Amino acid sequence: MSTLSDLVYAQGRSTGADIEWLHRLAGDGQLLADLAFADIVIWVPTVDDSFIAVAHTRPSGAATLFYRDIVGDMVRPQWRTQVRDAFTRVEIVDSASPDWFEETPTRVRAVPIVRAAGAGEQSPVVVGVLTRHTNLGEARTPSRQQITFNDCADDLFGMIASADFPDLAAPTSPRRGAPRASDGLIRIDVDGTTTFASPNALSAFNRLGFDDELEGESLLEVATGILPKGRDFDESLPIVMAGRAPWRADLEARGVTVSLRTIPLKDHGTRIGAIVLCRDVTEIRHQEQELITKDATIREIHHRVKNNLQTVASLLRIQSRRTHSDEARDALTHAMRRVAAIAVVHDTLSEGLAQNVDFDDVFDRVLKLVAEVAASPNTRARTRKTGTFGTLPSEYATPLALALTELVTNAVEHGLVDQEGEVEIIAERTEDRLGVKVRDTGVGLPEGQVGRGLGTQIVRTLIQGELSGTIDWHTLVGSGTEVTIEIPMRYLGRTQS
């Protein structure tokens, strides 16, 4: 299914500002659908003087009319005139009589979507039409809550038609814990006095410690009485509780956290009150705090592991300097370098929240370490990296860093021994695979022979065993050696899911 941006761009009649406005409005589609107890559809004009649906939201508290998704469909003939009238006359147009849709009586309201004038524009711009489709087949005597919800929906529809909603200055909705109409709705007048509080909203405030009725009370004074004395609180809370700005805040008391979102209501630019949505997010906030604590603990572990590995590397370096055997000295130096390469990965993991690392940064640090340690007095090796590795999970970053450390070390120590040359590392990443080539300008491999030392065994084990990849050594035409590594990305995807 095409996205809203794709569908709007395809019509060739909208600007980037129009699309941003439509995205913000579509983001509140569920709120509008729940308040209106109806399906909400957003239409944009097409080049052939028709309209196409770019967004659709079903109500959570009422029966939907559209059991099949209509996004991407052209407006039906029975609605075309009403939608076009709302767009051209820039006014809300209601159906004159019940409209039948698949043998179900419905009532349709068409609302012009008007965007506030931007830079260089003299007046607001009509960017589309919003339609409300109410199912009349299940009509019953509305409750006071339903009447209030419908009144709030009508106020918001009027604001949409006068470019007062959505408000681009308002913060976007968080991923988790955003209050919805069904979670709790409070309506306040222009003075901040509560005129309606849904049962769920009243329950949320009861859990905070307010035991009386909210209606008739100043919501700001209620919040002030709930807040514990001497404790810091969200600075935006007074503005939210007074309904003066489209903002969000958390109200905390007695171990309970209630998330609040205010939507000021306006009539042609004049504030007439506000909607305050509230939701008990105590458990969600506890989970978030636990995740933050776990992340901090994991980062601290990585930091300590890095320190311990660096200590081990330092001990190996000291031991290598004190030994009199060249063979033992080389073995200790190799071990020191391998430990240091692993420490680089843990150092990177200790700096971020995610257990993924920017492997390009890791490898740049490893490459510098290898070049300094591996080069002998008579060897002048230049290292160069091209391409990008991208972000890798820690389970893959450590073995890959260690494997590449061995390969670059071998290229410097054996391929370029006692001469000047270059080692190039080429990374190629696609959706399906990660390819790495380590190429040097050294003496090359004896025909048909690959080293059988510890370093080669380590590389094979890491690439084939831990990364489920393939590795191949071959001599370049003329001189030099090239090692080719292929790692399937499907395995990387599983670790990141």
pLDDT of residue 237: 84
CATH number for 268: 3.30.450.20
- Does 343 lie in the same domain as 236? no
- Does 80 lie in the same domain as 66? yes
pLDDT of residue 174: 63
Long-range contacts of 88-96 (CB under 8 A, 24+ apart): 90/114, 90/126, 90/161, 91/161, 92/157, 92/158, 92/161
- Does 25 lie in the same domain as 62? yes
Tell me which of 240 and 292 has the higher pLDDT.
Answer: 240
Number of domains in the chain: 4
In a domain, 167, yes or no: no
Residue range of the domain that includes 293: 284-353
The rounded mean pLDDT for the chain is: 85
- Does 60 lie in the same domain as 135? yes
In the predicted model, is pLDDT for residue 378 greater than 80?
no
In a domain, 168, yes or no: no
In the predicted model, is pLDDT for residue 359 greater than 70?
yes
In a domain, 63, yes or no: yes
In a domain, 322, yes or no: yes
In the predicted model, is pLDDT for residue 450 greater than 70?
no
Tell me which of 49 and 293 has the higher pLDDT.
Answer: 49
In the predicted model, is pLDDT for residue 495 greater than 50?
no
Q: Is 391 helix (H, G, I), strand (E, B) or coil?
A: strand
What DSSP designation does 462 have? I
Task: Please state, in angstroms and rounded to a whole number, the distance separating the CA atoms of residues 39 and 139.
Answer: 15
Lowest-confidence segment of 120-134, 138-152, 229-243, 249-263 by average pLDDT: 229-243
Domain boundary among 280, 304, 331: 280
CATH number for 393: 3.30.565.10
CA 276 vs CA 29, 32, 91, 169, 245: distances in Å? 17, 14, 27, 17, 11
Task: Please state, in angstroms and rounded to a whole number, the distance separating the CA atoms of residues 35 and 4.
Answer: 23
Domain boundary among 101, 131, 161: 161
- Does 89 lie in the same domain as 23? yes
The answer to whether 161 and 92 have CB atoms below 8 angstroms apart is yes
Nearest to 116 by CA among 156, 160, 60, 62: 160
pLDDT-derived band at 24, boundaries 50, 70, 90: very high
pLDDT digits (tens, 9 = 90+) for 314-339: 888 888 888 888 888 878 877 877 78
- Does 203 lie in the same domain as 148? no
- Does 15 lie in the same domain as 153? yes
pLDDT of residue 466: 83
Q: How confident is the model over 363-376, as a mean pLDDT? A: 67
pLDDT digits (tens, 9 = 90+) for 284-301: 888 877 776 776 777 777
- Does 295 lie in the same domain as 273? no
- Does 30 lie in the same domain as 114? yes
In the predicted model, is pLDDT for residue 497 greater than 50?
no
Show the CA angle centred on residue 180, arms to residues 179 and 183, nearest 5°: 85
pLDDT digits (tens, 9 = 90+) for 131-183: 999 988 776 788 999 999 999 999 999 999 999 999 888 877 665 678 999 99
The answer to whether 494 and 467 have CB atoms below 8 angstroms apart is no
- Does 256 lie in the same domain as 140? no
Q: How confident is the model over 290-313, as a mean pLDDT? A: 76
In a domain, 83, yes or no: yes
pLDDT of residue 467: 85
Lowest-confidence segment of 11-20, 59-68, 335-344, 446-455 by average pLDDT: 446-455
Q: How confident is the model over 265-273, as a mean pLDDT? A: 92
In the predicted model, is pLDDT for residue 455 greater than 90?
no
DSSP of 30-71: HHHHHHHTSEEEEEEE-TTS-EEEEEEE--SSS--S-SS--T
- Does 268 lie in the same domain as 319? no
CATH number for 129: 3.30.450.280
Dmax (CA) of the chain: 100
In a domain, 367, yes or no: no
Q: Is 467 helix (H, G, I), strand (E, B) or coil?
A: coil
Domain boundary among 128, 161, 194: 161
pLDDT digits (tens, 9 = 90+) for 90-114: 999 998 878 777 778 889 999 999 9
In a domain, 317, yes or no: yes
- Does 288 lie in the same domain as 275? no
In a domain, 209, yes or no: yes
Q: Which amino acid is at 105?
A: P
pLDDT-derived band at 492, boundaries 50, 70, 90: low
Radius of gyration (C-alpha) of the chain in whole angstroms: 32
In the predicted model, is pLDDT for residue 428 greater than 50?
yes
In the predicted model, is pLDDT for residue 360 greater than 90?
no
Task: Please state, in angstroms and rounded to a whole number, the distance separating the CA atoms of residues 363 and 356.
Answer: 14
Lowest-confidence segment of 10-19, 135-144, 193-202 by average pLDDT: 135-144
pLDDT-derived band at 410, boundaries 50, 70, 90: confident
